[in-house]
Amino acid sequence: MKYSIKRILQLIPILIAITFLSFAMMRLAGSDVVEQKMLNTGQVVSEAQLQAAKAELGLDKPFLVQYFVWFGKLLHGDMGVSYVSGKDVFETFISKLPATLFLTVTSILLTIVISIPLGIISAVYKNKFWDYLIRFISFIGNSMPNFFVSLVLMYFLGIRLGWFPIISKDMSLSAVAMPTFTLAIAMSAKYLRQVRATVLDELSKDYILGAKSRGVKFSVILWKSVMRECLVTIITLLALSIGSLLGGTAIVESIFMWDGVGKMAVDAINMRDYPIIQAYVMWMAIIYVTVNLITDLSYRLLDPRIRLEDTSNE
Amino acid sequence: MNKKPSKKLIVFTIMAAALILVSIFADRLCPYDPYAQDLSLSYNAPSAEHLMGTDTYGRDMFSRVIIGARASILSTLALVAIITIFGTAVGVICGYCGGKVDSVVMRISDFFLAFPGLVFALAVAALLGGGIINAVFALAVISWPKYSRVARSQTLSVKSLSFIQAARLAGDSPVQIIVRHILPNILGPILVTSMLDIGTMMMELAGLSFLGLGAQPPIAEWGSMMSNGRSMLQTYPWVVLSPGFAIFVSVVIFNLLGDTVRDYLDPK
């Protein structure tokens, strides 16, 4: 308990730093936004008008004051409006989030379905044909950037074979298939190696030999003992994939026109829509940090040894 | 470390060196001018004359892929070199000096490690605007902490060894100790880290270019070439797939080299 509270308290300075950084970034980039906006109207703008407009937005105040005003609004879910659409940034972000979460969940599920069985097969048939084949495929998968995978899948499965729609119009299973494949291929390639290593490590332990000599079936050992030990690895993998997924979805979403936060961010970057970019960076960082915390805490539930180590250190 | 290099290591080193040589001498190796437009030749399918076909403006794709190696491979190597040197320097200094400097710098690197990498790179690149140098900078900002972690922990373990104390007693200055005694002893793990990183960095750099945040047209770069050709995937797939294939092959070669170097320096 003590550890959990300590961990949560540690999170606060990181979260504050994240908000500060994204605010500072926005100010660095968007300082001439007012001028830009007024010049776009096509009228002659006097210096006085410019100052008045800046004062109206609070841009004439010192940097830190601006930050605290902004932070106060942030706590109420007010992140300003998009420069392009004029809509509320927070609402836009929330409306795009379900699509990204849906894609994330399907990709993680597919990754688990691919990487755990293949990792186990690879470990059980160590240095035999299946192991080499699986490792070869994993190596190939690891060496392809996700936009290349997307376009290859799009070309063969979408255009040549016509199995899946090329552009996703809705959040159906057939529409999510190709973006999911793309993300799952890259992740599985990475994680089946780790599953393999974990299983190999586990299989070399004495209790496995003991179980074998007692006549316990190998499949039972695999499913009952080895699988359970894989749990911690799998949870680590899930936490790790959240980070790469959050970044990776940006490219994949914009290729497949999947209407999630990743595509929103890429569009915003192309149009220099800074409030949206700011919201994206900040929320992604917050989600990432939070997921890491949950992972850390869940280890302690799963593996009592980690709990013991902490108490002996204190 | 006097082990004889394996055959694999020699082969992959030669392949990687060949790639680097191609990107250095790219302009002399192109069969056609990669920037010369000839609309009468646009969208030719791959043939003996144009190995990878031609693009919208009739430019020879094979020449463009070769010249694109320059932006893609050389900037990746520059990026890896920058983060290796900077990260190692920071890590060694932190590990050797310890104290307040160490804890402050390590908190900063914690902070960078706490961010999802590509999301942050996107933000930095968006802030700086397009351009290959900005993309390299964006990735460098988020990638150095890994190296300072490795360098720091290695420095800490070497620092406590008796020959370092002997050097100190002999009156060597801290700079001399770091350069002469610590660096040579920690280079192995750092080299392995950076070799394994080349492929990943190449993919991330190409990814930023693909999103329009790296190399800008007309400069030929594999990621941006793929992005520009996207709409032609259905009708003229070679325009999109050949630069992608070039990225794939280069990443494979550098990953193979990285794996072999790791096996060579750090056999488990």
Task: For residue A270, count other CB atoms closer than 10 A to its CB.
Answer: 14
Confirm if B94 and A255 have CB atoms less than 8 A apart: no
Has residue B195 got a pLDDT over 80? Answer: yes
Where residue B208 falls among pLDDT bands split at 50, 70, 90? confident
Query: What are the chain A neighbours of B244 within 8 Å (beta carbons)?
Result: 145, 147-148, 151-152
The DSSP code sequence of A5-55 is HHHHHHHHHHHHHHHHHHHHHHHHHHTTHHHHHHHHTTS---HHHHHHHHH
pLDDT for residue B147: 92
Has residue A53 got a pLDDT over 80? Answer: no
The vertex-B193 CA angle with B192 and B199, nearest 5°, equals 100
Confirm if A247 and B116 have CB atoms less than 8 A apart: yes
Residue with token string 């104390």: B165
Where residue A90 falls among pLDDT bands split at 50, 70, 90? confident
Has residue A305 got a pLDDT over 70? Answer: no
The alpha-carbon gap from A140 to the nearest alpha carbon of chain B, in Å, equals: 7
pLDDT for residue A313: 43
Q: B54 by DSSP, 3-state: which?
A: strand
Give the ipTM. Answer: 0.83
pTM of the model: 0.83
The alpha-carbon gap from A245 to the nearest alpha carbon of chain B, in Å, equals: 9
Measured in Å, how far apart are chain B's first and last C-alpha atoms? 15
pLDDT for residue A23: 81
Has residue B220 got a pLDDT over 80? Answer: yes
Q: Do B116 and A247 touch (CB under 8 A)?
A: yes
Report the residue from A17, A29, A251 with minimal CB separation from B210.
A251
Where residue A43 falls among pLDDT bands split at 50, 70, 90? low
Q: Do B114 and A289 touch (CB under 8 A)?
A: yes
- Dump pLDDT digits (tens) for A166-220: 776 677 777 888 899 999 998 888 888 888 888 888 888 888 888 888 888 888 8
Interface test with A, best of B8, B122, B143, B235 (most A CBs within 10 A): B122
The alpha-carbon gap from A223 to the nearest alpha carbon of chain B, in Å, equals: 28
Q: B38 by DSSP, 3-state: which?
A: coil
Task: For residue B192, count other CB atoms closer than 10 A to its CB.
Answer: 19
Mean pLDDT (chain B) is 84
Report the residue from B127, B206, B233 with minimal CB separation from A28.
B127
- Does any CB of chain B come closer than 8 Å to the CB of residue A171? no
pLDDT for residue A273: 79
Copy the structure tokens of residue B127.
Answer: 């802030």
Has residue A314 got a pLDDT over 50? Answer: no
Distance (Å, rounded) from C-alpha B187 to C-alpha B150?
Answer: 10
Angle between helices A227-255 and A89-124 (to 10 degrees): 130
Q: Do A152 and B210 touch (CB under 8 A)?
A: no
Distance (Å, rounded) from C-alpha A166 to C-alpha B131?
Answer: 30
Least confident of A45-54, A302-311, B74-83: A302-311
pLDDT for residue A248: 64
pLDDT for residue B159: 84
In chain A, % of residues over pLDDT 90: 5
Residue B69 Cα distances to B23, B202, B206, B219, angstroms: 5, 11, 11, 11
- Dump pLDDT digits (tens) for A107-123: 988 988 888 889 888 98
Task: For residue A188, count other CB atoms closer than 10 A to its CB.
Answer: 27
Residue A274 Cα distances to A22, A55, A237, A269, B259, angstroms: 10, 20, 32, 7, 41
Query: What are the chain A neighbours of B213 within 8 Å (beta carbons)?
Result: 269
Has residue A96 got a pLDDT over 70? Answer: yes
More confident position, A78 or B181: B181
The vertex-B253 CA angle with B248 and B256, nearest 5°, equals 120
Distance (Å, rounded) from C-alpha A287 to C-alpha A245?
Answer: 12
